[in-house]
Amino acid sequence: MILLNPGPVTLSPRVRQALMGEDLCHREPEYAALQAIVRSELLSVYDLQDDRHAAVLLGGSGTAAVEAMIASLVPQGAGALVIENGVYGERMSRIAEAYGIPVRRLTLAWGAAIDVSQVERLLVEDASLRAVLMVHHETTTGRLNDVAAVAAVCKAQGVSLMLDAVSSFGAEAIDFDGWHLAAAAATANKCLHGVPGAAFVIARCDQLKANPGRGFYLNLSAWYQAQEAGGTPFTPPVQSLLALREALEEHQSQGGWIGRQALYRRRSQRIAVVLDRLGVSPLLGGDETSVVLRAWQLPVGMSYEFLHGALKQRGFVIYAGQGGLAASMFRISLMGDIGDNDLIRLEAALMAIFDVASRRAEVLPLVPRAPGI
């Protein structure tokens, strides 16, 4: 079965094999060595140095890392402006509110581009907003948000910027210094091709030192201090970290984030050619979408359940639209160990399924949906 959902991903044989590594006690030097390598390799993905940035590892899924970042690094007493144009932006607001952080939401239609002049206006109007929280790749629609533009406004206003980079870390450009990011949160099992269980926040050291953090388990300050001393405050997901170490080596040997971006782009373009021939329109244009995942309009007359079921029978798992987009769209993610043969099989499967569907629908022909949202 090839997973075309946005994580967890189809594992490569070497990453799967790494799960069979030796048993480790997390209070022994063997674990400390593993943790140190993973932390430093995570910084290397974007050429960061450990005097300015730190990778803080956590047990949990991507949301745990996003929650830890928000709970720990939004300054005490400050409000946060949250930019929402999909499920994950909305989730950032709910997390901040759960910690009692005053939230100002900039709510946009799902998939809409961010208008930075609105961000600027809100920050100028309300000086209590000291942090901006946003999603880099909004997996709901595939939109790659323009972080550079928001970052320029944040820099000018002296406001810290925190990124949910869960579905972009390792495959899209993230300019930690140029964007002056306070932190970015991500996970092992998306573009890095590891297994679920390990998540992480990459933060500026000055931010980690300046903020005492909120909460208990997801308080980054505790994890950071323990990890800097070679330890860990709680039981870590040891096997996930063994797999992540292997996945990071594989990532580096395949050309790092630039190599992975190129790989996903090639996959995305191949699938776009086939779907275009079948009359399926993308939700967003090629310059607006990430390379990681693309959302497609279901033809009128074809249900998601039909397409999902027919593809699953042929060995592929696709992903539904969320919320209001569930009936009209499907998503194909390109992360994971997908071979050329798999892509050839996928192309053949799509053509066969659409052929059957259009013959079944002779009375009620399949009509391509108009592009756009």
Ligand X SMILES: *Cc1c(COP(=O)(O)O)cnc(C)c1O
- What is the token pair recorded at 180? 């002056």
| Residue with Cβ nearer ligand X (299 or 321) | 321
Please state, in angstroms and rounded to a whole number, the distance separating the CA atoms of residues 335 and 169. Answer: 12
**What residues have CB less than 8 Å from 3, skipping those under 6 apart?**
9, 10, 317, 333, 336
Facing residues of 56 across strands?
A: 201
260 vs 369, beta carbon nearer ligand X:
260
**How far is residue 270's CA from residue 290's CA, in Å, rounded to a whole number?**
15
Among 67, 164, 172, 246, binds ligand X (CB under 6 A): 164
Rounded Cα gap, residues 314 and 348, in angstroms: 10
Q: Which two tokens stand for residue 272?
A: 């776009």
Beta carbon nearer to ligand X, 193 or 369: 193
Q: Return the residue of 4, 5, 7, 131 that touches ligand X, per CB under 6 A.
A: 7
Position with the least CB separation from ligand X: 62
The three state secondary structure string of 168-195 is CCCCCCCCCCCCCEEEEEEECCCCCCCC
Q: How far apart are CA 345 and CA 343, in angstroms?
A: 5
- Among 10, 141, 160, 167, interactor with ligand X by CB under 6 A: 167
Q: Determine the Cα angle at 139 with ends 54 and 247, to 5°.
A: 45
CB of 143 or CB of 204, closer to ligand X: 143
Residue 70: name the closest of 41, 30, 99, 49 by CA: 99
Rounded to whole angstroms, what are the CA distances from 119 to 90, 137, 217?
Answer: 16, 18, 32
Chosen residue from 61, 207, 261, 297 binding ligand X by CB under 6 A? 61
Q: Least distance to ligand X from the beta carbon of 11, Å? A: 16
Residue 160 interacting with ligand X (CB under 6 A)? no
Confirm if 125 and 71 have CB atoms less than 8 A apart: no
Instruction: Draw the binding track, 107-146, toward ligand X (x: CB under 6 A; -: no contact).
Output: ----------------------------x---x-------
CA 366 – CA 50 distance, rounded (Å): 55
Pick 166 or 275: Cβ nearer ligand X:
166
Q: 144 or 153, CB closer to ligand X?
A: 144
Cβ closest to ligand X, residue 160 vs residue 187 = 187
Give the Cα separation of 8 and 238 in Å (integer): 18
Nearer to ligand X, 3 or 135 (CB): 135
Shortest Å, Cβ 341 to ligand X:
27
Instruction: Give me Rg for the CA atoms of the chain.
Output: 21
Among 187, 221, 240, 261, binds ligand X (CB under 6 A): 187
**Selected range binding ligand X among 56-64, 109-117, 203-211, 222-230, rule: CB under 6 A:** 56-64
Bond into 236 cis (ω within 30)? no
- Supply the minimum distance, in Å, between the C-beta of residue 62 and ligand X: 3
- Residue 88 C-beta: closest distance to ligand X, Å: 4
Backbone torsions φ then ψ of 276, nearest 5 degrees: -60, -45
Interface with ligand X by CB under 6 A: which range of 145-153, 163-171, 266-274, 316-324?
Answer: 163-171
Considering only residues 2, 6, 183, 296, which one is a binding residue for ligand X as defined by CB under 6 A? 6
**Region for residue 315 given its phi and psi (left: phi exceeds 0; alpha: psi -120 to 50; beta: otherwise):** left
Size, binding site for ligand X by CB under 6 A: 13
Out of 166, 278, 280, 346, name the contact with ligand X by CB under 6 A: 166
Helix (H, G, I), strand (E, B) or coil at 286: coil
The single residue among 4, 46, 62, 302 that binds ligand X, judged by CB under 6 A, is: 62
79 lies in the site for ligand X, by CB under 6 A: no
DSSP letters, 29-48, are HHHHHHHHHHHHHHHHHTT-
Measured from the CB of residue 66, what is the shortest distance to ligand X in angstroms? Answer: 6
- 170 forms part of the interface with ligand X (CB under 6 A): no
Rule CB under 6 A: is residue 88 a binding residue for ligand X?
A: yes
Using CB under 6 A as the criterion, which residues of the chain lie in contact with ligand X when the complex forms? 6-7, 61-63, 66, 88, 135, 139, 164, 166-167, 187
